[in-house]
């Protein structure tokens, strides 16, 4: 596993405030303000539903708040929050698959994107989302982090707790599958 990134001064100060009972609420408000948007979109690209995304995001912050004392600080705060969000998202998706008793649940959900008032993409964006929805969850996650968030493999490695080589392979396979999907659907 790669070494942790050095913390910048602002993050060190935020973590210090989070560890002090007197300043914890105010500091956590800053955390929510700072990370809501990027975490929202990370989750949204996996679950496709605005309402479900909001629920998962709220669960992510509740878990972070409840487990703040267990945050050791040996990774960046953003890495820890992304890890919680990813785990919450994967848990949600697994429950939905079990509830609906189908592996094509995500494909069914993405087909409803056209009717989603929060989806503002065109036909090409919708087709890309359909292609992405055919990927296994972990490949979809890696693809989204690399393609949409432009996240470095080293950062993904810290969040997903897997090797850079495995992430590169997953991304390569995801891109090939998406390419094949788009070429056969023309």
145: domain CATH number is 1.10.1740.10
Paired tokens of 129: 């989302």
Residue 89 exposed, middle or buried by CB count within 10 Å (0-12, 13-18, 19+): buried
Paired tokens of 58: 């709220």
pLDDT tens digit string along 29-78? 999 999 999 999 999 988 888 999 999 999 999 999 999 988 887 788 99
* Residue 71 maps to a domain: yes
Report the number of distinct structural domains present in the chain.
1
* Residue 80 maps to a domain: yes
* Residue 126 maps to a domain: yes
4 CB contacts (<8 Å, ≥6 apart)?
74, 75, 76, 158
Measured between alpha carbons, how far is 155 from 141 in angstroms, rounded to an integer? 13
* Residue 46 maps to a domain: yes
pLDDT tens digit string along 84-120? 999 999 999 888 877 776 555 555 666 566 556 665 6
In whole numbers, what is the pLDDT of the chain averaged over residues?
85
* Residue 177 maps to a domain: yes
| Sign (positive or negative) of CA dihedral 105, 106, 111, 113 | positive
pLDDT of residue 55: 97
- Residue 82 in contact with residue 41, Cβ under 8 Å? no
Compute CA 148 distance to the chain's CA centroid, rounded to the nearest angstrom: 11
Paired tokens of 62: 């509740």
Domain that holds residue 17: 9-184
* Residue 3 maps to a domain: no
| pTM, full prediction | 0.80
* Residue 2 maps to a domain: no
């Amino acid at each position: 596993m790669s070494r942790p990134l050095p913390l910048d001064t602002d993050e060190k100060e935020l973590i210090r405030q989070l560890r002090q009972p007197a300043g914890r609420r105010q500091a956590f408000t800053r955390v929510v303000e700072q990370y809501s948007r990027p975490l929202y979109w990370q989750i949204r690209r996996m679950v496709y539903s605005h309402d479900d995304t909001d629920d998962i995001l709220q669960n992510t912050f509740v878990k972070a708040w409840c487990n703040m004392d267990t945050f050791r600080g040996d990774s960046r705060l953003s890495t820890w929050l992304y890890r919680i969000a990813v785990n919450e998202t994967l848990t949600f998706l697994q429950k939905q698959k079990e509830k609906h008793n189908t592996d094509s649940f995500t494909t069914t959900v993405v087909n409803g994107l056209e009717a989603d008032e929060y989806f503002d993409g065109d036909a090409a964006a919708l087709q890309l989302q359909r292609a992405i929805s055919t990927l296994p969850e972990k490949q979809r996650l890696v693809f989204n982090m690399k393609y949409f968030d432009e996240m470095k493999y080293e950062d993904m490695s810290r969040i997903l707790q897997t090797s850079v080589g495995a992430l590169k392979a997953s991304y390569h396979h995801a891109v090939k599958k998406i390419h094949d999907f788009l070429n056969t659907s023309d």
